[in-house]
Amino acid sequence: MTVYVRSLETAVPTTKLIQSEARDVFAAQPGLSRLGSRLVNTCFDGAAIETRFTAVEELTTTGRSENPQFYDQETGLLLNPSTKVRNDIFAREATKLFVEASRAALEAAPEIDLLDITHLVTVSCTGFFNPGPDYKVVRELGLSPAVQRYHLGFMGCYAAFPALRAAKLFCEADPNAVVLVVCAELCSLHVRTSNNPDTIMGSALFADGAAAAVVTARPGAEDTALLKLDHFETVLTPVGEDSMAWNIGDNGFEMVLGNYVPHIIDDHIVDALQPLLAREPELAALPYTAIPHWAIHPGGRSILDKVQSRLGLSHTQLVPARETLRNFGNMSSATVLFVLKHILEQPLQEGDERICSMAFGPGLTVETGLFTKLRQLTGGSANPARMDAAGEEALLQDNRATEATLA
């Protein structure tokens, strides 16, 4: 049975962070050592990010709050709220993103009635509350109270793949199933000032955003579908358990993103792809560049550099991932869906438009997916202006010039 993505939409908070301004705030914190200050400038400048979005309005240089919890405009100090304070904000603000992205995805599939939704899969690793986001989406959108609800929590950046895989299995088991998948992450809730390189890197990379998709195999779905879900695979690399992790601390969640992660990916990415490509031996026999589109989770600039170098991909094939990183930063589980949306927005080409997609997370876990693009996505949400040709070439030249520094 063929399973399709009928719609794919994204959402971000209204508050935009300018990377250079955020860098200056973090670099000016009084507790930084000389090395810490140098790392802040290196990480922020080398992240290949220009803008990000945050649910915490006061984190910007123009945001004002009478009772600041994250950033005091008057003193210029970054504050350190408790995990409870951060999580309370998550419960309020993440709900808005879950609902906004879900509503956009459903509106983009007008032939599907709200009561047609049979399953709901929600995803997040940046906060907890119960009744959770699955409950909130059902209530806010007016879905059937009998919708089967599933929440995938605390899996990290690769979690969109288990969510889509679950949706595919639901549809294969029930031909009438219509599954709403929605990822929402508020990573910026957990930023803090520190001399720790992992914490500094997280502050330079992470952002907030959401993405939602409607998945179904109902008769006639192929007539309007954007994407065909072909295969999924999961691989655990033999090393890396201590190099990428996501822990709960007293003052927010604590990221571990060791500088060896890009090297682990470099060493094991080819083996991680083999189970997926083995599903289609004819495709596996071709060079990687024969697959037109690569939807790579932009966990960081050096990760993209390693993937591109190891697989021999062209700069053009990495543009969707690099431009997503440039405009939105790393939004954990939602990010790879932004990359897929970027690919879907491009004009259709001749022949089968296959998409190989992958994301990386704690473990070290490599999730992969193979898809087929069927239609161009037009309109939609959270879609800033694309780079012109000159801007794109400048970005690619910059990527090549600084790859060694970030490796």
- The residues carrying an active-site annotation are 157
Q: How far is the C-alpha of 344 from the C-alpha of 135, rounded, in Å?
A: 30
Instruction: Report the amino acid identity of residue 312.
Output: G
* d(C-alpha 254, C-alpha 271), whole Å: 29
Alpha helices in 112-260 (DSSP H): 133-141, 160-173, 197-205
Nearest to 69, CA basis, from 84, 53, 58? 58
Find all residues with CB under 8 Å of 56, minimum gap 6, and list them: 15, 63, 70, 89, 188, 189
Helix, strand, coil percent values for the chain (each to nearest 5):
40, 25, 35
DSSP assignments along 382-401, one per residue: S-PPPP-HHHHHHHHHHHHH
Classified as helix, coil or strand, 37 is helix
Are the C-beta atoms of residues 58 and 15 closer than 8 Å to each other? no
Task: Give CA torsion, residues 300, 303, 309, 313, to 10 deg.
Answer: -70
Query: What are the counts of helices (DSSP H) followed by strands (DSSP E) for the chain?
Result: 12, 15
Looking only at the bridges linking them, the beta strands covering 293-296 and 353-361 are: parallel
